[in-house]
Structure 1
Amino acid sequence: MKSFSALALAACTFALSSWTAPAAAQFAKPADAVKYRQAALTLIASHFGRMQPVVKGQAPYDAEAIKNNVKLLSTLSELPWAAFGPGTEGGDARPEVWSDASGFAQKRDAFKENIAKLQTAADSGDLDKVRAAFGNVGASCKSCHDSYRAKK
């Protein structure tokens, strides 16, 4: 039993260390990081966009559906950032992501804080609070895109 516990501990330690490794070490090549972050951001945009008709009053408000969607968005909002490490330049990300890393981190943190506030608003069941928080998330997306995403 002791050897099994030691083996399990070693496996957990290895798994955790692989999650905390530098971004470049998590991807076989920089293009893999670009694909990963683009996929994560596409999912974020999809789930965020699903709420837009409700927020605009074009679809009925289903508090539980919004709450579940925001919960998923909260999880998704954690994903793309590891794929922006040194050596992962490319895609639609402008060079300023890396040359202004602290500014990029501030925008990322503002986005994540606004997602957390959207979760609180969704949990309240109050559509007016959801609308306000939704607008703040959208503004944080736009702010980051304006500064760090290449224009198409």
Structure 2
Amino acid sequence: MKLKTILITAASVAGLCSALPASAQFQKPEDAIKYRKAAFTLIGTHFSRIGAMAQGRTPFDGAAAAANAEIVADLAKLPFSAFVDGTSGTDKGTPKANVWTERAKFDEHAKAMQVEAGKLAVAAKANNLDTLKLAFGSTAKTCKSCHDSFRND
């Protein structure tokens, strides 16, 4: 019985630690802003490389598409923890205040993007341009949907 109590206590402490607010990761709001901008810049760079292939602007290279899609899927997990209080804005490209007033909806958009980015990584491994195009389009729609709802024009 004592071991069970220790395990339950350890699991509870671990759960509490993982549930700490994301803001604890950043000393200042500016740190959170820099972090998410950097993550989105990298996502955009690698996603654009896939888009160039999907749109026929550059030749299709299955290995490059797969490598870039894997990076996008990994990076898609990063920026959303940096949407902390005090980091909205009114300038172009900044998050609207409704990120925080409609947080559940925002989180749904973030999760949808992460899921589609994962599907893109799987599709890119198929080494088939048509499969890549479909997955790229679906992923792009999730990005646009979030931008339309939560990003200042």
**TM-score (normalised: structure 2):** 0.82
Q: 1:124 aligns with which of 118, 123, 126?
A: 126
Classify the secondary structure of the residue corresponding to 1:57.
Answer: coil
Aligned partner of 1:77 in structure 2 is 76
CA shift, 1:53, in A, is 1.8
Quick one: distance in 2 between partners of 1:70 and 1:24?
29
Shift of 1:50: 1.2
Query: What are the superposed Cα offsets for residues 14-66 of structure 1, whole Å, 9 maximum, x if unpaired?
Result: 9xx5x764211110111110111111111111111112221112221110111
The answer to whether the 8 Å contact 1:33/1:88 transfers is no
Point out 4+ residue stretches in structure 1 off by more than 4 angstroms: none
User: Does the Cα contact within 8 Å between 1:55 and 1:131 map onto a contact in 2?
Assistant: yes
Structure 1: gaps (5+ residues): 1-12
Alignment of 1:2-151 (within 5 A): 17=17, 21-85=20-84, 87-91=85-89, 92-151=94-153
Cα RMSD of the aligned pairs, angstroms, is 1.7
Equivalent residues, number? 135
Deviation at 1:68, TM superposition (A): 0.6
CA distance in 1: counterparts of 2:150 and 2:125, whole angstroms: 31
Deviations 1:54-107 (A, max 9, x none): 11122211101110111111111111011013x242240101100000110111
CA distance in structure 2 between the partners assigned to 1:76 and 1:88 by the alignment? 23
Identity %: 39
Offset from partner CA, 1:107-139 (integer Å, 9 cap, x none): 111101111111111111111010000011111
Q: Normalising by the residue count of structure 1, what TM-score does the alignment of the two structures yield? A: 0.82
